[in-house]
Structure 1
Amino acid sequence: MRVLIALSILLASATAVPIEEPVNGENGWLVPQEDGSFEWMSIQDAEELLDSSVPIERRSNEVSFYLYTQKNPTEGQEISADATSVQNSYFNKDHGTRFVIHGWKGRYTDSMNVDITKAWLSRGDYNVIVVNWDRSQSVDYAMSVRAVPGAGTKVGEMIEYLHEHHGMSLETLKVIGHSLGAHVAGYAGKQVGGKRVHTIVGLDPALPLFSYDTPDKRLSSEDAFYVESIQTNGGVKGFVKPIGKATFYVSGGKKQPGCGVDLAGTCSHARSVLYYSEAVTQDGFGSIQCQDYQAALDNKCGSTFSNVRLAEERNANHVEGYFYVPVNSEAPFGKTE
């Protein structure tokens, strides 16, 4: 009888132990699905999936590069790591170079690439090289994540080739990636190594299936001389914690004004591209420096604008830390006072 009572108490106490509440990015991830919904995946299940020894099909993991300049602002020239290919293109080593990398389900012709390309070419004659990585077009988000390291390595190899064989300057190079493309940019920087890539800009770097505690498997502040992260949908599709040398929390970094309910984060996540494109052309996003990233999330950084602006050209030389960026609910989004 005493044994039965003891077992009853043990079972009762066991059932009273609270189940750990799922926290996106901390003890697992809400992984986006093709239909816009999310499915929970534990850290263990994610590790088993991402560490799978099953190879990704070569044909669907190709990476291609399309060059845009002021001579061909709307029709990209496909180039490859081949002397004839580059020599027969409009690539000019005397002009600064910008690599632009799309995210999940993206293509090089998507509006984000068009907007960023147009923004840079409005400022001068740059080599804007838009990356197309085929595996991102998978409807399975996790399979696209698995392709990130390989895609990033290939982008890094292209950077090395243009630098070593065609005189492309690493000191004026910027690599800009949105969502999963931000982590592709990080792997490109890791491939080149030694912080030789001058600047990487992460536009709301993707959170699902990426851990803050493993910087070797995501975009990190060590991947370039200067890494700037522009965060707009933290905790849903993008990172909350800072992963750049300078991290800009636009409107607190989680939800953007003018996006309505936006439960799936689609609008807020995409705003990072619109903000960046506007910042390149107008340089109108003032910021308020914060003591830590939590203050930026909570908009508790005061009301005095700093002399730092989001995506400003000179940021690489002197900017570090956390910044709150107030914005308007519609374009022009930037505020300076």
Structure 2
Amino acid sequence: MKLIILFITLTGVFSHPLNYGEPRWTIAKDDEGKMHLLDLNPVDAEVEPAFDAWTDTFFLLFTRSNPTEGQRITWTRESLDQSHFRRGGQVRFLIHGWGGSATSGENPMTTREFLALGDYNVIVVDWSVGAGSANYITSRNRVGITGQVVARLIDYLDEIGFATHNNVNVIGISLGAHVSGHTGKNVQRGRINAIFGNDPAGPLFNINNPSDRLDIGDAEYTEAMHTNAGVLGFDEPITHSSFYPNFGRTQPGCGPDISGSCAHARSVFLYAESVNSNRFVARQCASYAEIVAENCPGTGVTAIMGGDSAKPIRGVFFLTTNAESPFAQG
């Protein structure tokens, strides 16, 4: 029997530019639970030309009239007139991450929560043709154009009087969080009400390049939940309010979690639970440095993590959660 030994550097991959001599490899789980070995050196990768975001991005509408079977909609009046879209109602876009699709677990789970909350139009964005590359870098490089496509639909809904931008929230996980940011950057007829980024992807995104990632200016209100900061998720605050459950790097109940995939995915469960819960009570830290030091005595200001509405809060927040559902402790 042949014995093959593979040496892989599993040191944390942080959200600064990669240089030679820094860790090049990591292991990550995609939205479907499959493990992948990632080469994080962008020098060796080229964008695959097979993905046309304008034809390969699909939108599935879920409402209380069709809570489990999505209707395919496009930016045509006929498509929308023939759908269950509730004109003038609240609209929630859900955007999956790398390796995901419309049927990825977070989408039906979060859709159920929104439809329990109100008679919403929930639109699941399926960019699986773009996000499904085995090469993470290829999928990462498709984030911007996908955001442009989502922005086009939001503008069209406003143009024909079906929805206004202030009734639109966008929720994205991992790479989908940055698609959400590009969506906000590219709308032309207004500003999105709120963007919620669930553990925005860290590898190959840079704190010094806000035009290429989720950023504070992408909506009237932006919020990020950091559950695997500095490994698979972005580490530093990049939104109006930034929540760091359990100090944001590891999560209770995840065990050793060497790849970070359990902690990364935890953001989805926390957000879904938060839609109909006001029990994720967090305290404001004086600075991000207190998160890094894992010492946040609090400033006296509290806030609710997640949920469904824009908030007047700003800053960095800490809270503890349970190891299993229900996760909220407040």
Q: TM-score range by the shorter chain?
A: 0.7 to 0.9
| Cα distance in structure 1, aligned partners of 2:123 and 2:295 | 39
Provide the residue aligned with 2:39 in structure 1: 39
Say whether 1:231 aligns with 2:226. yes
C-alpha contact (below 8 Å) 1:204/1:239 kept by paired residues: yes
- The structure with more radius of gyration: 1
Change (3 A) 1:135 1:313: closer
Change (3 A) 1:135 1:38: closer
Say whether 1:291 aligns with 2:281. no
> When you count helix as a share of all residues, which structure comes out higher?
1
| Cα distance in structure 2, aligned partners of 1:198 and 1:311 | 14
Structure 1 counterpart SS, 2:252: coil
C-alpha contact (below 8 Å) 2:165/2:190 kept by paired residues: no
How far is the alpha carbon of 1:194 from its aligned partner?
A: 8.2
Q: For residues 6-54 of structure 1, what are the alpha-carbon distances to aligned partners after superposition, in whole Å with 9 as ceiling and x for unaligned?
A: xxxxxxxxxxxxxxx996323416555674334342xxxx26846x6x7
| Cα distance in structure 1, aligned partners of 2:193 and 2:12 | 37
Provide the residue aligned with 1:310 in structure 2: 305
C-alpha contact (below 8 Å) 1:200/1:226 kept by paired residues: yes
How far is the alpha carbon of 1:307 from its aligned partner?
A: 3.4
* Structure 2 counterpart of 1:215, from 202, 205, 210: 210
C-alpha contact (below 8 Å) 1:199/1:225 kept by paired residues: yes
Q: Which moved more, 1:26-35 or 1:252-261?
A: 26-35
Structure 2 counterpart SS, 1:119: helix
How far is the alpha carbon of 1:140 from its aligned partner?
A: 1.2
Say whether 1:320 aligns with 2:307. no
Paired AA for residue 108 in structure 1:
A
Provide the residue aligned with 2:88 in structure 1: 94
Percent identity of paired positions between Structure 1 and Structure 2: 37
Change (3 A) 1:173 1:22: closer
What does 1:48-87 correspond to in 2, within 5 Å?
49=45, 55-58=49-52, 62-87=56-81
So what's the TM-score if we normalise by structure 2? Answer: 0.87
Note the residue ranges of structure 1 that are not aligned, 5 or more in a row.
1-20
Provide the residue aligned with 2:4 in structure 1: none
| Cα distance in structure 2, aligned partners of 1:40 and 1:154 | 26
Change (3 A) 1:208 1:195: farther
How far is the alpha carbon of 1:193 from its aligned partner?
A: 5.1
C-alpha contact (below 8 Å) 1:231/1:250 kept by paired residues: yes
Say whether 1:142 aligns with 2:118. no
Provide the residue aligned with 1:26 in structure 2: 16
Q: For residues 186-218 of structure 1, what are the alpha-carbon distances to aligned partners after superposition, in whole Å with 9 as ceiling and x for unaligned?
A: 111111158701100000000111111100001
Q: Which moved more, 1:166-175 or 1:202-211?
A: 166-175
Q: For residues 77-121 of structure 1, what are the alpha-carbon distances to aligned partners after superposition, in whole Å with 9 as ceiling and x for unaligned?
A: 000001110000011122100000000000101110011101101
C-alpha contact (below 8 Å) 2:177/2:196 kept by paired residues: yes
Provide the residue aligned with 1:267 in structure 2: 262
Structure 1 counterpart SS, 2:295: coil
Provide the residue aligned with 2:5 in structure 1: none
C-alpha contact (below 8 Å) 1:233/1:254 kept by paired residues: yes
Larger RCO (CA within 8 A; separation ≥ 6) = 2
C-alpha contact (below 8 Å) 2:158/2:189 kept by paired residues: no
* Structure 2 counterpart of 1:165, from 142, 160, 168: 160
Structure 2 counterpart SS, 1:171: helix
| Cα distance in structure 1, aligned partners of 2:162 and 2:189 | 18
How far is the alpha carbon of 1:165 from its aligned partner?
A: 1.1
RMSD over aligned Cα, in angstroms? 2.3
